[in-house]
Chains A and B, each alone.
Chain A
Amino acid sequence: MAAMTMARAETRTKERGESPVQTFISRHGGMMPSFAAVLILILLFIGGEIFLRGDFITPRNISALLLDNAVLLVLAVGMTFVILTGGIDLSVGSVMAFTGILGAKMLGDGVPVGIAIPAILLGGAAIGLLIGILVQYFGVQPFIASLAGLFLGRGLAYIVSLSSIKVENDAVLWLQSTRIRLGDWYITPTGIIALTTVAVAAFVLHLTRFGRTIYAIGGNEQSARLMGLKVGRAKIAAYVISGFCAGLAGLLLTAYSGAGYPRNGIGTELDAIAAVVIGGTLLTGGRGYVLGSMVGVFVYGTIKTIINFMGAEQSWMQIIVGSLLLLFIVVQRAIVARSEGRR
Chain B
Amino acid sequence: MTAIYKHRLFWPIVALLTLIVVNAVARPQFIKITMRDGELYGPLISILRESAPLMLVALGMTIVIATRGIDLSVGATMAVSGAVALTIIDGSDDPGNVGTVLIACVVAVLVSLVLGAWNGFLVSVVGIQPIIATLVLMLAGRGVALLITGGFITTVNSEPFAFIASGYLFALPFAFLIGLVAIIVLSLVERRTALGVLTEAVGINPEASRLAGVRSRSIIWGAYMVSGMLAGIAGLIYASNIKAADANAAGVFIELYAILAVVLGGTSLNGGKFSIAGTVVGVLIIQTLESTILFLGVSSAQSPVFFAVVVVIVVIVQSSRLRDGLAALSTRLRSRSEADEKVEVA
Interface flags for B171-188 (1: CB within 8 Å of A; 0: not) read: 000000000000000000
Encode B127-160 as 1/0 by CB contact (under 8 A) with A: 1110111011111111111110001000000000
Q: Which of B219-227, B273-281, B318-326 interfaces with chain A?
A: B318-326
Stretch at the interface among A46-54, A231-239, A251-259, A324-332: A324-332
CA distance A120 to B276 in the complex (A): 42
Given A162-B299, A162-B301, A322-B136, residue A329 in contact with residue B315 (CB < 8 A): no
Assess whether B259 is in contact with A318, with CB atoms less than 8 Å apart.
no
User: Considering only CB atoms, which chain A residue lies closest to B143 in the complex?
Assistant: A318
Number of A-B contacts (CB under 8 A): 132
B302 CB–A CB distance under 8 Å: yes
For A130, list chain B residues within 8 Å (CB): 312
A94 partner residues in chain B, CB cutoff 8 A: 304
A-B contact pairs, 30 of them (CB 8 A): A134-B315, A138-B322, A140-B316, A143-B131, A144-B315, A147-B256, A147-B259, A147-B260, A148-B315, A151-B304, A152-B304, A152-B308, A155-B308, A162-B301, A262-B301, A270-B135, A270-B139, A274-B139, A283-B131, A283-B132, A316-B147, A319-B144, A319-B147, A322-B136, A322-B139, A325-B139, A329-B133, A333-B126, A333-B127, A333-B128
Out of B122, B145, B147, B256, which one reaches A150, CB within 8 Å?
B256
Q: A80–B222 Cα gap in the complex (Å)?
A: 33
Q: Which residues of B contact A147 (CB under 8 A)?
A: 256, 259-260, 311
Across the interface, name the chain A residue whose C-beta is closest to B300: A158
The smallest C-beta distance from B268 to any residue of chain A, in angstroms, reads 10
**What 1/0 mask marks residues of chain A from 115 to 151 whose CB sits below 8 Å from any chain B CB?**
0000000000000001000100111110111011111
Q: How far is the CB of B148 from chain A (nearest CB, A)?
A: 9
Q: Which residues does chain B contribute within 8 Å of A36, judged by CB atoms?
A: none
A158 CA to B307 CA, complexed, in Å: 14
Residue of chain A at shortest CB distance from B270: A141
CB contacts (< 8 Å) of A82 on chain B: these are none
Contact size range, B:
35 or more
| CB neighbours of B211 from chain A (8 A) | none
A335 at the A/B interface (Cβ < 8 Å)? Answer: no
Partner of B140, one of A141, A159, A323, A329: A323
- Residues of B within 8 Å of A138, CB to CB, are 315-316, 319, 321-322
A residues with a Cβ closer than 8 A to B are 88, 94, 130, 134, 137-141, 143-145, 147-152, 154-156, 158-159, 162, 262, 266, 270, 273-274, 277, 283-284, 313-319, 321-323, 325-326, 329-330, 333, 337
Residues of B within 8 A of A322 (CB): 136-137, 139-141, 143
Q: Which residue among B132, B142, B259 has the maximum number of chain A CB atoms within 10 Å of its CB?
A: B132
Most chain B C-beta atoms within 10 Å of own C-beta, residue among A94, A143, A144: A144
**Chain A residue, CB-CB nearest to B140:** A322
Report the minimum CB–CB distance from A285 to chain B (whole Å).
Answer: 11
B106, CB-defined interface residue at 8 Å? no
Given A143-B70, A316-B143, A319-B143, do A329 and B136 touch, yes or no (CB 8 Å)?
yes
Given contacts A144-B269, A315-B143, A323-B140, contact A159 B308 (CB under 8 A): no
The answer to whether B304 touches A154, judged by C-beta atoms less than 8 angstroms apart, is yes
Q: Known contacts being A138-B321, A151-B308, A156-B305, is A273 close to B135, with CB within 8 Å?
A: yes
Q: Chain A residues with Cβ under 8 A from B135's Cβ?
A: 270, 273-274, 325
Contact (Cβ within 8 A) A318 B142: yes
Mostly helix, strand, loop or mixed at chain A's interface?
helix
**CB-contacts of B244-291 with A (<8 A):** 247, 252, 256, 259-260, 263, 269
Verify B308–A88 contact, CB threshold 8 A. no
Question: Closest Cβ of chain A: how far from B224's Cβ, in Å?
Answer: 15
Bound-state CA distance A158–B298 (Å) is 10
- Is there an interface contact between A155 and B302, defined as CB atoms closer than 8 Å? yes
A139 and B312 within 8 A (CB): no
Tell me the minimal C-beta distance from B299 to chain A in angstroms: 6
Least CB distance from B227 to A in Å reads: 17
Given contacts A144-B263, A325-B136, contact A155 B128 (CB under 8 A): no
Which residues of the other chain, A, contact B143 by a CB distance below 8 angstroms?
315-319, 322
- Hey, which chain A residues are within 8 Å of B315, CB to CB? 134, 138, 140, 144-145, 148
B259 contacts which of A140, A144, A274, A321 (Cβ < 8 Å)? Answer: A144
| Nearest CB in chain B: distance from A316 CB, A | 7
Q: Are B147 and A152 in contact (CB under 8 A)?
A: no
Chain B residues whose CB sits within 8 angstroms of the CB of A154 once the complex forms:
304
Partner of A321, one of B139, B252, B316: B139
B10: which A residues are within 8 A, CB to CB?
A: none
Are A315 and B128 within 8 A (Cβ)? no
How far does the Cβ of A315 sit from chain B's closest Cβ, in whole Å? 3
Report whether A144 and B126 are in contact in the complex, using a CB–CB cutoff of 8 Å: no
The answer to the question of B306 belonging to the interface, with a C-beta cut-off of 8 Å to chain A, is yes
Nearest residue (CB) in B for A325 is: B136
Q: Which residues of B contact A315 (CB under 8 A)?
A: 142-147, 151, 247
Q: Which residue of A lies closest to B150 (CB)?
A: A313
B241 within 8 A of A: no
9 additional A-B residue pairs with CB within 8 Å, beyond A313-B151, A330-B128: A134-B312, A147-B256, A148-B315, A274-B135, A274-B139, A315-B144, A319-B140, A319-B143, A319-B147
